[in-house]
Structure 1
Amino acid sequence: MLKLTIPVEPMGAVRMTSRGKPNAQRYLAYKDQIKWIVKQQLKDRKLLMGALEVEISFMMPIPKSWSNVKRQQMVGEYHTKKPDTDNLVKGVFDSLNKLVWQDDNKVAKVTAVKSYGEVPGMEIVIKELK
């Protein structure tokens, strides 16, 4: 089992048809930041080769415009706004290619949860399936 903690605000994948656009540049920087953090946590670990199960918890930022009472009430509650969960997963999986696994086609089972958190970030648990 491998557990990764990534203290980066989750960002959904964007269309890469125009790499020069600000959103595309921000997304590429986001993936690079994830890669750098994961490299620090892996310390020369070998790539996982078999079928994999991945559990990702996305802690989404709480809007600053909300009152303190509402902010406290929403911690841990499901996040049902953009970005879509599948786009969040895509960004993480693309970042982990050739670091944790050769390619994300090794992932046979995925569980992803998006909820509000006091501190934005991601927790990823990766298990080899038998």
Structure 2
Amino acid sequence: MTRYVIPIAPKPQSRPRFTRNGRAYELKEMTDWKKVVALHLRGKQPELIAKGAIMMCMTFYVYPPQTVSKAKTKRPLENRELEKIFVDKRPDTDNYVKALLDASDGILFKDDGQIAAMTAQKLYSLNPRIEIVIEEMGK
């Protein structure tokens, strides 16, 4: 089991854009975000899982709006309290997952088709980041 912390705010996968000729392309901000995530992962020198089924657990920590951080207590919540509150707003969790899998493909695993089991969750935090736990299955 290997754990990675990427100190970058999560970003959901954007919808493809199309040129007048009908060619699809990705927004530059999305491409840049994926490059930065890949750079952070490569810096940790992960061992590529070339074959076999893997399990991946992802936690996306997103910065809370003021309405959440002060809502029920009438005082600012501490980060450890915030990190227990699940995000029930957009963007969808699967869009965060898609962006992360695209960025880590070929770095953590050879192909995202190897992922046999996966969990993902969104939580609030004053320290936006992505935490990944990846484990080979059947060992």
Does the TM-score normalized on the shorter chain lie above 0.5? yes
User: Any conservation in 2 of the 1:10–1:58 contact (CA below 8 Å)?
Assistant: yes
Alignment of 1:88-103 (within 5 A): 88-103=96-111
- How many residue pairs are counted as aligned between the two chains? 126
What is the rounded CA distance, in whole Å, between the counterparts of 2:50 and 2:118 in structure 1?
16
Structure 2 spans left out of the alignment, 5+ residues: 20-25
Q: Is 1:9 matched with 2:9? A: yes
Stretches of 4+ aligned residues off by more than 4 angstroms: 64-68
What is the rounded CA distance, in whole Å, between the counterparts of 2:18 and 2:2 in structure 1?
35
Structure 1 spans left out of the alignment, 5+ residues: none
Name the structure 2 match of 1:36: 39
- Specify the SS of the correspondent of 1:8: coil
Name the structure 2 match of 1:69: 75
Task: Report the aligned-residue RMSD.
Answer: 2.1
What is the rounded CA distance, in whole Å, between the counterparts of 1:48 and 1:85 in structure 2?
26
Name the structure 2 match of 1:49: 51
Displacement of 1:71: 4.0
What is the rounded CA distance, in whole Å, between the counterparts of 1:119 and 1:18 in structure 2?
35
Displacement of 1:48: 3.7
Length-normalised TM-score, structure 2: 0.81
- Specify the SS of the correspondent of 1:125: strand
Larger C-alpha radius of gyration, 1 or 2? Answer: 2
